[in-house]
A and B are shown apart, each in its own frame.
Chain A
Amino acid sequence: MEGLLQLLFNGLSVGAVYALFALGYTLVFSVLGVINFAHGAIFTMGAYFTYLLIGGAVGANGLLAGLQFPFALPFWLALPLAGIAAAAVALVVERIAFRPLRDRGSDPLLALITSLGAGVILVNLIQLLVGAESYSIPVGTLGSLPAALSIAGAKVRTVQVMLLAISGLLLAALSIWINGSRSGKALQAVSEDPVTAQLLGINSARVIQIAFGISGFLAGMAGGLVGLSISIAGPYFGIGYGLKGLGVLVLGGLGSVPGAVLGGLIIGLAEACVPADLSGYKDAVSFGFLFLVLLVRPQGLLGRPQANKV
């Protein structure tokens, strides 16, 4: 029992991050039908923004060496602000890498490459500005909470519990927004059928911007939270999550919000179940899963069946 509970905690703590990451992917996918390969870089920027806003200083390398904001915000304020800054970056990415393709009526799959280009620019810009070293959010940021909680004999780091809680809150807020607000419903309409949505008078360009904004906001928050839990491991920090997030996205069903969450938790749990002597194969687990799901149920666990477009 104790072992099982521990396994559950281990899986959920990793899975929550995967889920948060994949949510951003999924929002963009639901309206545009493509993957935003710059998402990992936006996540990374969110982490750096959080670090700077809580008063962190830039190291000795990079153009901004030694930079430090004259103020130090508390973490709970810095995190959403970093999310907003990351949302702004996501909007810029939309403007330069996605909108021109739509304006010209080009194949939407080209966005795979343009967003990759945007991601390459962002990652290298980070390195140019703040260097390659790692930064971290000080351990004491959350105040005097204990480092780990012990629940029925199973252990979990407090930071991970917070991460899980905030992810849950964000997810709930997102669901309420999608189902309860005008813009949320517009998003649903565009993802169902962009042409009809246009006929209904929905400004799809606006909806797409909203999707990017929220996706960037979630990525930024996720970056800040992961930065708190571990550290900001240099400009390539988000890239590893980008690949895992892809697996989560497909497992849950492309474009499905609850699917992204379910997918993240399943992959997190599956990875946690890999026995120690096979831990080298851990990274193959999510992709093995993904591969099988694609073959058996190509639309993913909670996705809608793929339209046979003619």
Chain B
Amino acid sequence: MDAGLLEQMLLGALLGLSVYLPLRCGQLSLATPGFFAIGGTVAALLSTRVPALAGSGSTYPITSVLLEMALAALLTGVLALGLGRVVLRLRGIYLAIATIALVEILRVVTLNLEFTGGALGIFGIPQPFNSAAGYAAFTLALLALICWLCDRLEKTRPGRAMAAIRDDELAAASQGINTADTKLLAFVLSALVAGITGVVAAHFLNSWNAKLGNFDASITTLAFVVFGGSRTWLGPVFGGLLLTALPELLRPVGDLRLIVFGAVILVGPLFFPQGVITPELFKWFKPRIGGITTAAAQGVKQ
């Protein structure tokens, strides 16, 4: 397999996590591609227009990428804080459509602005790594860090509050959980993840334009989470990795490629309504693996 494809899969996993965070507290927000586009635009603008960031070496300094990520996180975070207060009053499909509207408005505005390069976008984005493998290693570290943070989050008070809101918002509120703030937290975290993913994607793709954050992307990233599962962070990671890779892995079937891809998206939720990866799956696995290891340990003793 090609490291470039691996990198795209890892970016898919990160976007899946971004959709997963609000969904974990029951909020169907499809704003991820919008924040992803903002992150990418920030990176594309800074790295091509600010000579001070370019450094002196032959490759673009990673410290500059980290700085872009920080700025993208700041921008998307502040934006999400403001927008979240407004849109999170909506629920279910209404929230989904409102966030799709946001993504579309952002796309049209980006297309019309002079400094984002219009339809052609921004190209010639400098490269911090010489090969796709370098990107993959960097993104893997980023994914690992965000997975670890998600895992921590799921065990701490805000994380449990999110799960409680998802199960029953009124009950959660009556237990003294500040539902508005908790939902806002999830929305902001989602935006941060999407924003920094956009930074990496812009460098990796060498160029950036308004089309990269559109309606199609909203639905595709939702498919990552639905397919993988939305009850543990491993679900969207799995869904993002698999569904990004699938169209590529299906190349041998030629013209039928996208028909088979569509069939997988169609059939997946029918057979795995909770997504492929569920907490129950671990419960099912644990005793078996545990049993085997205990048996093996006993075998060694004897």
Contacts and interface: CB of A to CB of B under 8 A. Distances in A.
The reply, when asked whether chain A contacts chain B directly with Cβ atoms under 8 A, is yes
A228 interface: no
A37 B90 CA distance: 21
B90 A246 contact: no
B256 interface: yes
Contacts, number: 121
Chain B contact-residue range equals 35 or more
A69 to B, nearest CB: 24
Contacts of A162: none
Contact of A290 (B101, B255, B264, B265): B101
Interface string A260-282: 00000000000000000000110
B97 to A, nearest CB: 5
Query: By DSSP majority rule, is chain A's interface helix, strand, loop, or mixed?
Result: helix
A287 interface: yes
Contact of B108 (A118, A120, A281): A281
B193 interface: no
Interface string B168-179: 101000000000
A37 B269 CA distance: 15
Interface string B84-122: 001101111110111011101100110110000000000
Contacts of A110: 226, 269, 273
Nearest to A41: B262
A109 B259 contact: no
B283 to A, nearest CB: 20
B100 A246 contact: yes
A132 B198 CA distance: 32
A243 interface: yes
A271 B230 CA distance: 38
Given A243-B215, A284-B104, A104 B270 contact: yes
B13 interface: no
B273 A121 contact: no
A119 B226 contact: no
Contact of B86 (A37, A280, A295): A295
B219 interface: yes
B170 A310 contact: yes
Contacts of B86: 295
B270 to A, nearest CB: 5
Nearest to B86: A295
Given A121-B259, A306-B91, A113 B105 contact: no
A294 B93 CA distance: 11
Contacts of A288: 101, 105
Interface string A124-161: 11001000000000000000000000000000000000
Nearest to B118: A280
A250 B94 contact: yes
B101 A291 contact: yes
B8 to A, nearest CB: 19
A114 B97 contact: no
B254 to A, nearest CB: 10
Given A34-B93, A119-B262, A254-B93, A114 B104 contact: no
Contact of A121 (B28, B100, B112, B266): B266
Contacts of A107: 273
A298 B94 contact: yes
Contacts of A34: 93
A116 B100 CA distance: 15
Contacts of A247: 101
Contacts of B268: 113, 117
B51 to A, nearest CB: 31
Which of A97, A113, A246, A247 gathers most chain B CB within 10 Å? A113
Given A37-B219, A306-B94, A284 B108 contact: yes
A109 B93 contact: yes
Contact of A120 (B98, B265, B269): B265
Contacts of B227: 113
Nearest to A115: B266
A291 B222 contact: no
A298 to B, nearest CB: 5
B263 interface: yes
Given A113-B222, A310-B168, A294 B90 contact: yes
A280 B112 contact: yes
22 contacts: A35-B93, A37-B219, A101-B269, A109-B28, A110-B226, A113-B219, A113-B265, A114-B265, A117-B263, A118-B266, A119-B262, A120-B258, A128-B255, A247-B101, A254-B94, A280-B111, A280-B112, A294-B87, A295-B86, A295-B98, A306-B94, A310-B170
Interface of A: 33-35, 37, 96-97, 100-101, 104, 106-107, 109-110, 112-114, 116-121, 124-125, 128, 243, 246-247, 250, 254, 280-281, 283-284, 287-288, 290-291, 294-295, 298, 306, 310
